[in-house]
Structure 1
Amino acid sequence: MPRLRTLALPTLLPLLLSACSTDQAVNYSKSYAKNHVKNYATNAALNELGPAGDAIAIGMNLEKDTIGFEALVHLLLKEARVNWGDEKKSSSKEYVKYTNHYRTRVFVDFEAGSVHVETLDRQDLRKAIAAILLTPYAPDQVDLFSDKDVPVGEEPMLYGQVLDHESQPIRWQWRALRYADYLIDRQMSSRKSAKGQVYAVDFSLVEDHLSQREYQYASLVRKYSKVYAVEESLIYAVIRTESSFNPYAVSSSNAYGLMQIIPKTAGRDVFDKVKNLPGQPSKSWLFQPHNNIDTGTAYLALLDNHYLKNIRNPLSRKYTTISAYNGGAGNVFATFDRNRDRAVQKINRLQPNQVYWALTKKHPRDESRRYLEKVSSAQKDFYKGKI
């Protein structure tokens, strides 16, 4: 079959049924799934999608990450509803991990600097607290979309960002378990829910947790700033706005890593126009900090030097680049005129502060309006030594 873009199921099914019988379709898609997504989605997750999930892959050259992501999210949300009555999952700035048959879960809010551990099984609370304290920075090993236990061994991602009751960083299991006992003895709370009694503890990251995460990536930011001629302060500002330096950042739109790269859009664009590589980056590739910062910085340069190159004023072009990183160059132009050439002409007649005003007040997307404000504010913090 020819290569097709992903289609909505109502559109896709007629094409599938016209090409082969139902049995052939199901057998083909199951074979495809088992051969190509076994590293990203369990058979249970794929089965949960039923016939619709079977049909998605038929005759289409879909990326294994995409199939795996959708399958695992589907199963996770189902289990969350069954056990907790909600659909909470990881996001760009919040790490969420389920264990213990989905009856225990942990939340790390990297923006607010808080940790919440809760369980429906009182006896699992100690283990869950220790697990988050020892969770490694290993996005390729920690499965956010299943109830698998977290592997330990590497330096914890929260090392130095959490201090125990003796004001010590937590590196080893004995200290993690001892701190867990301390928290349970003094800070455990309980509440009744429709799913049963919930036992929980809350604790905070250290005050400078954000700066501790930031400086882990200083050498990478410096390197790719030079490679692509993009300001270090802008790279830092984008990372803070996109993920608050959450190493496990993932969004509902399949954006991954520190700079929240969507493989099929920005990732594919960078591969095609900057790196001269076929296809698009994978989820596991983008979860590696050096790849993610490389790709995100390359995309900022691509926007500045290619898509928005005809905007003459450097500051105006910078504002449009930041806005386009979030909402696309097309929406930047649409803020000023439906016709791109006329949009560029109008932008070039404006002062930078007028361009900024338009993008933060008239941009078609509310999120993009706020995004330019947040990144600009974060970049100022860099100059003040706050980032």
Structure 2
Amino acid sequence: MRKFAYCMIALTLVGCSREFVESIYDVNYEPTNRFAKNLAQLPGQFEKDTAALDALINSFSGNIEKRWGSKEIKVAGKSNYVKYIDNYLSRAEVNFQEGKILVETVSPTDPEGHLRRAIVTTLLTPDDPMSVDLFSSQDIELKGQPFLYNQVLDQDKQPIQWGWRANRFADYLIANQLKVKQVDFKKAYYVEIPMVEDQIQIRSYQYANIVQKASRKYDIPEDLIYAIIKTESSFNPYAVSWANAYGLMQVVPKTAGRDVYKLVKNKSGQPTPEYLFNPENNIDTGTAYFHILKTRYLKDVNDPTSLEYSMISAYNGGTGGVLNTFSKDRKRAMSDLNSLQPNQVYWALTKKHPNSESRRYLEKVTKYKKEFNMPK
């Protein structure tokens, strides 16, 4: 089985230096555990790991910079898939939020041949994240159902499942849509491929049985699970983040993952990255954490709608963040929260929460939840 040790450190990498990371992501390294501090004495989920980051600067990022230049460094994130091949000469970026795919190469020899191979590889990449090393230029074994099946149509408006169709579409793109640009004093040959308009819905359908199973198991509404997945990853099972969060529901192993292991699974330790890259394991773990929020950390919230708002906010910014919105004193905070109507709780968590990301998070999730339109 592939070793995923690189994942434990690679997720903090988005550039050539730690300063670049912090300038792009406005990283907050203060502990913000996804549970009340007095209930679980664990380190914060955003611990600064400079040694791990520095160890990677001269490997992955260095290899990218060597080929593409310091201004063209791209790596996988929560809602985008990035994969390098050909010793970092070719790469693909799938932007799920914008519904666009960019495949490009800076190979000085036979650029069209390299680009053709990169296009085919992208179209036939399997839907199993366990089989793809996102943080190297290692080749991908093209087998099984393609990850992008039904999300991209060829020149005949047909989905791409087999090698012959992928190769034919690659030839068409190079013959009709090839573009050239300057990248770090060299030429980059590229094509842009649009995804179908309902690409997010198509991916969501793939996990319907898993979501239904988790919903029934942990008594969490299906539409809430779907909304969290859309917010966290745009249904990208390859999703990774600088906070060491993995997969569809962006589970952090050493905080939420460890809590689920201890309080739900009755086992020690924490889930591994490879465990969380499995969609079924990821959705089960993320939903189990919502169960913990509902039945343990926020069980004293009386109104069910206020409880749901609080759970959503706590999934992103911690139980402590929810309570601090109302008072620094835990008992006073819970009393104040329960004295409010649900719309007032929502207003407070989206306007007065101490963390701006958490304020936006609740707005996004509640908006997306309506899209799935499922009864509780």
TM bracket (short chain): 0.7 to 0.9
Secondary structure of the residue that 2:82 maps to in structure 1? strand
1:100 aligns with 2:90: no
Whole-angstrom distance in 2 between the partners of 1:68 and 1:100: 29
Whole-angstrom distance in 2 between the partners of 1:257 and 1:73: 24
Whole-angstrom distance in 2 between the partners of 1:236 and 1:73: 35
Secondary structure of the residue that 2:84 maps to in structure 1? strand
1:180 aligns with 2:170: yes
Of structures 1 and 2, the one scoring higher in RCO (CA 8 A, sep 6+) is 2
Whole-angstrom distance in 1 between the partners of 2:50 and 2:355: 28
The aligned runs of 1:196-215 (5 Å cut-off) are 196-215=186-205
1:83 is matched by which residue type in structure 2?
R
1:256 aligns with 2:246: yes
1:128-156 CA-partner distances (Å, limit 9, x unpaired)? 00000000012111000000011111110
Change (3 A) 1:68 1:300: farther
Whole-angstrom distance in 2 between the partners of 1:73 and 1:262: 23
Secondary structure of the residue that 1:91 maps to in structure 2? coil
Shift of 1:173: 1.3
Shift of 1:78: 2.0
What is residue 355 of structure 2 aligned with on the other side?
365
CA contact (8 A) 1:323 1:371 kept: yes
Secondary structure of the residue that 2:77 maps to in structure 1? coil
What is residue 312 of structure 2 aligned with on the other side?
322
Shift of 1:193: 2.1
Secondary structure of the residue that 1:202 maps to in structure 2? strand
Whole-angstrom distance in 1 between the partners of 2:226 and 2:4: 32
Which residue of 296, 299, 307 maps to 2:289?
Answer: 299
Whole-angstrom distance in 1 between the partners of 2:228 and 2:272: 21
1:330-380 CA-partner distances (Å, limit 9, x unpaired)? 111111111111111110111111110111111111111111001000111
What is residue 117 of structure 1 aligned with on the other side?
103
Whole-angstrom distance in 1 between the partners of 2:367 and 2:166: 37
What is residue 23 of structure 1 aligned with on the other side?
none
Q: Percentage identity across aligned positions?
A: 51
1:76 aligns with 2:66: no
Shift of 1:83: 2.0
Which residue of 74, 77, 95 maps to 1:91?
Answer: 77
Shift of 1:165: 0.3
Secondary structure of the residue that 2:174 maps to in structure 1? helix
Shift of 1:73: 7.3
Secondary structure of the residue that 1:355 maps to in structure 2? helix
Whole-angstrom distance in 2 between the partners of 1:255 and 1:68: 18
RMSD in angstroms over aligned alpha carbons? 2.1
Whole-angstrom distance in 1 between the partners of 2:216 and 2:3: 38
Whole-angstrom distance in 2 between the partners of 1:73 and 1:286: 25
Change (3 A) 1:165 1:384: farther
1:219-250 CA-partner distances (Å, limit 9, x unpaired)? 11111101100001100110111111001111
Secondary structure of the residue that 1:140 maps to in structure 2? helix
Whole-angstrom distance in 1 between the partners of 2:294 and 2:161: 43
Change (3 A) 1:69 1:89: farther
Shift of 1:41: 4.2
Change (3 A) 1:239 1:73: farther
Change (3 A) 1:358 1:133: same
What is residue 12 of structure 1 aligned with on the other side?
none
What is residue 40 of structure 1 aligned with on the other side?
5
CA contact (8 A) 1:263 1:281 kept: yes
Secondary structure of the residue that 2:131 maps to in structure 1? coil
Shift of 1:112: 1.5
Which residue of 127, 135, 155 maps to 1:165?
Answer: 155
Shift of 1:265: 0.7
Q: Where is the helix percentage greater, Structure 1 or Structure 2?
A: 1
Whole-angstrom distance in 1 between the partners of 2:234 and 2:260: 23
1:276 aligns with 2:262: no
CA contact (8 A) 1:110 1:244 kept: yes
* TM-score where L is the length of structure 2: 0.83
Whole-angstrom distance in 1 between the partners of 2:4 and 2:80: 24
What is residue 38 of structure 2 aligned with on the other side?
none
2:365 is matched by which residue type in structure 1?
V
What is residue 128 of structure 2 aligned with on the other side?
138
* TM-score where L is the length of structure 1: 0.81
1:103-129 CA-partner distances (Å, limit 9, x unpaired)? 211100112211001110113100000
CA contact (8 A) 1:97 1:144 kept: yes
Structure 1: segments with no counterpart, 5+ residues: 1-36, 46-65
Structure 2: segments with no counterpart, 5+ residues: 11-48
Shift of 1:195: 4.4
CA contact (8 A) 2:313 2:359 kept: yes
CA contact (8 A) 1:40 1:69 kept: no
Change (3 A) 1:74 1:275: farther
CA contact (8 A) 2:4 2:273 kept: no
What is residue 138 of structure 2 aligned with on the other side?
148
Secondary structure of the residue that 2:334 maps to in structure 1? helix
Larger Rg belongs to: 1
